[in-house]
Amino acid sequence: DTVARLGGDEFAVLLENANEEVAEAWTRRFQETLGVPVMLDSHEVAASASIGIVTGGGDGRTGADLLSHADVAMYRAKATGRAGYQVFRPEMHEAIVRRVSLQAEMRQAIDEGQFVLHYQPIVDIRSRELTGFEALVRWNHPTRGMVPPLEFISIAEESGLIIPLGRWILEEAVAQLAVWDDLCFDGRPLTVSINVSGRQFASPAFVRSVAETLHRSHAEPERVILELTETMLLDDKDGMVGKLHLLRGLGVRLAIDDFGTGFSSLAYLRNFPVSSLKIDKSFVDDMLSGRRGAELARAVVEIGRVLELSTVAEGIETEDQATALEAIGCRFGQGYLYSKPLPAAAVEELLLRPTLALTS
């Protein structure tokens, strides 16, 4: 058998005449051995490794192919947690090829304006009156069609392209406010909610870019709501709490997205300058499926009430859900029951209607 160091902390091990089963058994033994702590300068140190396994050879694949497939499997193992292993499957390769090509195409896509924002209405659950919209990005790809954000936001985060993309989203969504004001028959001040990704929020220029956007657009800051997730607020690295206060100081409102799915410390939450909680769809889904679900949703709404935050339920699909949410005191909601996310032109049509109450 041969061990090679490929560079950095990457190694390759060649097991001759081993099948998949042998390779897996070897992998487990190797990881156990590596996990035994050793003393280094009176510190106890344990190492771990993520391992990708590829079997074959003699099937037309070259050594370079095998190495790159092992690499693909290793990255998959790494993504699923520390010290795991994965056996290479051809689908892994396709998924990576797709990610890599989306990543390569993304910069040009930003320059060429291939991204579009759709807007999902947020309503007052009781009256069904429209209060604002959440901006949701899509990639109108020339050959792949509409690519949903779950497929490219994480790629944009990895490559750092979330910074220019996020800036564009912010500019575009805030600019819509002025368009809506011109159309809205009764001058109601609608809000726009904008999703902010972790890396975007962490970037040093983020607060400044929000300030510049507001300044350029002359938008009323309190009508702009930035949606952050609990996980972004978990620890105070990069002066996160200070940043929240700076943003609040600009006048924009902050919402916690997917509330209840992370692990917010309630004591912490109390000190955040946020104004609303978005109750994750999973709670809404479970509401009518048994007593626990309803109780849990009620508890989340109650947290909002105690902290004097407004609550917005996400992913409402049925009348029964809306009725149940209203009964536990959740004021605002969004979901397919009211409307799917709409292209800007469809939003404009909606605003020309004589009443802003949505009917389903």
Residues near Ca ion, by CB under 5 A: 195, 227, 257-258, 314
Give the chain's length: 360
Choose the one of ligand C2E, Ca ion, none that binds residue 57, judging by a C-beta under 5 to 8 angstroms depending on kind: none
> Which range in 26-34, 38-46, 123-131, 328-336 contacts ligand C2E by CB under 6 A?
328-336
Please list, in sequence order, all residues whose beta carbon lies within 8 angstroms of the beta carbon of residue 84, skipping any fewer than 6 positions away.
50, 51, 77, 78
Place of tokens 């209203």: 326
Between β-strands 115-124 and 130-141, what pairing exists: parallel, antiparallel or unpaired?
antiparallel
Q: SS3 for 18?
A: coil
CB of 39 to Ca ion, least distance (A): 47
Task: Convert residues 104-143 into a mask of x (bound to ligand C2E by CB under 6 A) and - (unbound).
Answer: ----------------x--------------xxx------
Task: Give the distance between the most distant pair of CA atoms in the chain.
Answer: 77
CB of 150 to Ca ion, least distance (A): 12
d(CA 167, CA 177): 16
Task: Identify residues 11-70 at the interface with ligand C2E (CB under 6 A).
Answer: none
Per rule CB under 6 A, is residue 169 in the interface with ligand C2E? yes
Per rule CB under 6 A, is residue 341 in the interface with ligand C2E? yes
Closer to ligand C2E by CB, 153 or 300: give it. 153
Between β-strands 43-45 and 224-229, what pairing exists: parallel, antiparallel or unpaired?
unpaired
Task: Give buried/exposed letters for 28-50 (b at 16+ CB in 10 A, else e).
Answer: eeebeeeeeeeeeeeeeeeeebb
Closer to ligand C2E by CB, 49 or 169: give it. 169
Interacting residues toward ligand C2E by CB under 6 A: 120, 135-137, 148-150, 153, 169, 195-197, 257-258, 314-317, 334-336, 341
